[in-house]
Structures are given as C-alpha cells and as structure tokens.
Amino acid sequence: MGSERLGAFNEAHVKLINEYLDSNLTRFAKSCSQRFTPLLEAMRYSLEGGGKRLRPLLVLSAAEALGIKAKDVLPAACAMEYIHTYSLIHDDLPALDDDDTRRGKPSSHKRFGEAVAILAGDALLTEAFGQVLLLGESKTFHPAQILGVIDLLAHNSGVRGMVGGQLLDVTIDTTDASLPEIEFIHIHKTGALILASVLIPTKLIPLEEEKSQKFRRYGEALGLAFQISDDILDSETSMRYSRGPRKKPKPCYTQVMSPSEMREKLNRLINSAITAIESLGDKAQNLVDIAEIIRTRKA
C-alpha cells in the first residue's frame, strides 16, 4: 500500500495532508534560529520519506464519517504523522532495530548521525502535542474535547501503548514467542497509533457510546490487520519491503502461523473492521476503502 495507492483513492486528502505538513515545517524554519537548521532538515527528511500517510488519512476519514470537516482536524492528523515518524526514526537506531535503510533511502541516523536523528525524533514527538493544541484555532471544538485528544495520544503513544509495545519488541525472547505474546506486542506497538487515529474525531464531538464503540472495533481490527499484512509482505521475500534485510530477530506472525493462516486471519480482521462501521453508510466509505487496500496491499 504505497503512498501512490492511497493517493489514487483519496488524492484530495493526501494533498491536504502534505500541504499542511509542509506549511508547518516552513513555519518552524521561519520561527527558529538558523542554527537549528540541521534539526529541521532531519525532521523534513523523514516526514517526506515516502510515507503512506495512513494515520492522518484515518483521522480525516473518521472525521468525515462523523460529519466533521477534514480541514478542521488537520492539526490532529499532522500530530499523528509526527508521532509515527518519530517512532520510525527511533526504531531504526542501532540500539533498537539497527536498520540502515527506510523506504529505499538511508535511515535518519545513517544520513544525519545518531545524535541528530534522536533529536529529530524528540522534536517531532514534542511538536505533535503542540499541533493538537492548534485544534483550538478554528473555534470549532471545546477545550475539554481537545484535552481528550491529548489524553488519547498520551495513552496510545506512551508506555501504555506504542512505547510499551516497542519495549517488548526489543526485549522478548523470539525463540519461543507465542501467538498471544506476538499479538499483545503488535496491539501496542503498531495497533495503538492506528486505533488512536480512528478515535481522535470521536473525542471532538458529543457521541453516544454505542457509536464510539463502532470506531473502536474498526480501529482495533485494522491495527492488527496492518501488522499481519506487513508480516505477509516480509515473508514473501528475503528483503523486507521497506527496510532491507533484518539484522535482529523480531517477534512476528510468521513464527507461529503459516502463510495461509496469516491470510485467513487478515481477511477475518478486515471483514470485522468493515462490519463495525457499515451501519454508518456512505460517510464511512473512505474507512472501508482503507480497510480493503490493507487487505490487498502489495507494498
């Protein structure tokens, strides 16, 4: 599911996201000392590295499914891309996955050095929460709702979510990892940010619990499905599709499931995600399309 495929089905949203990300980087450049230019260059390098924009697309698509204008949630969509990008920069570091390439280009630490790469990740994570505060500029959302988004991001990106999953990913003994252990890791490491992306708009309007749970079920199923699709792609070649050969063993579904079992589980999860939101009708079509693209992705 390269950025071109997502762009083909939702070109307007991708364009909106990319323009917003670029305007933010330009604003930083104008407001910061020129001595910080190497840091800004490292941030831009990874943000413009060919990412799918999956998480910000989910924010915009979930917002529109709830009747919220996409442009009103752009700051939150940008925040999700910042957090995701920071996680990739740190994930590639020698202390973690030790990956030399990312999306066919040198990893941030190979291009800028480890110190600048670490700081670029730190900057993106910090600025993400500043982006969420910009939701208040449109006067569309109540401050309490914006605080709800901040709480959601802290929960899903921190020790109770992505960072906790990353800890297990780098410390678990991969020789005897079980399916429940692998799923627990990926629910947190990969799934938490995808779930947060889907849930952000549900925090910004009054919403009955039953409807909110539809988005939660969709996000939970999609998060695991995306990781399984990653592992399927990795299993089909000796070179990981985005990062080249793996240097360190990592817990993955291929250790505990056959290719056919992985494909079957992927289909079940995608079907569950679509079923969860189908009652929302045409407004949720973009969410359905994203799920179907993950089902059939080749890159």
User: Each residue of 85-98: pLDDT tens digit?
Assistant: 999 999 999 999 88
pLDDT average, residue stretch 15-26: 94
**For residues 290 and 32, what is the distance between their CA atoms, to the nearest angstrom?**
37
Q: In which band, very low, low, confident or very high, does the pLDDT at 176 lie, cut at 50, 70 and 90?
A: confident
Residue 240 phi, psi (nearest 5): -60, 140
Residue 244 phi, psi (nearest 5): 75, -165
Is residue 6 scored above 80 in pLDDT? no
**For residues 213 and 61, what is the distance between their CA atoms, to the nearest angstrom?**
16
What angle (nearest 5°) sits at the alpha carbon of residue 270, between those of residues 223 and 49?
45
**Per-residue b/e over 36-51, b at no fewer than 16 CB within 10 Å?**
eeebbebbbbbbebeb
Task: Determine contact, residues 28/57, Cβ cutoff 8 Å.
Answer: no
Is residue 124 scored above 60 in pLDDT? yes
The more confident residue out of 234 and 211 is 211
Q: At CB < 8 A and 24+ separation, what contacts does 33-36 make?
A: none
The β-bridge partners of 102 are: 105
Q: In which band, very low, low, confident or very high, does the pLDDT at 12 lie, cut at 50, 70 and 90?
A: confident
CATH code that applies to domain 3-296: 1.10.600.10
* pTM (two decimals): 0.93
For the chain, how big is the Rg over CA atoms in Å? 18
Q: In which band, very low, low, confident or very high, does the pLDDT at 244 lie, cut at 50, 70 and 90?
A: low
pLDDT score of 98 = 87
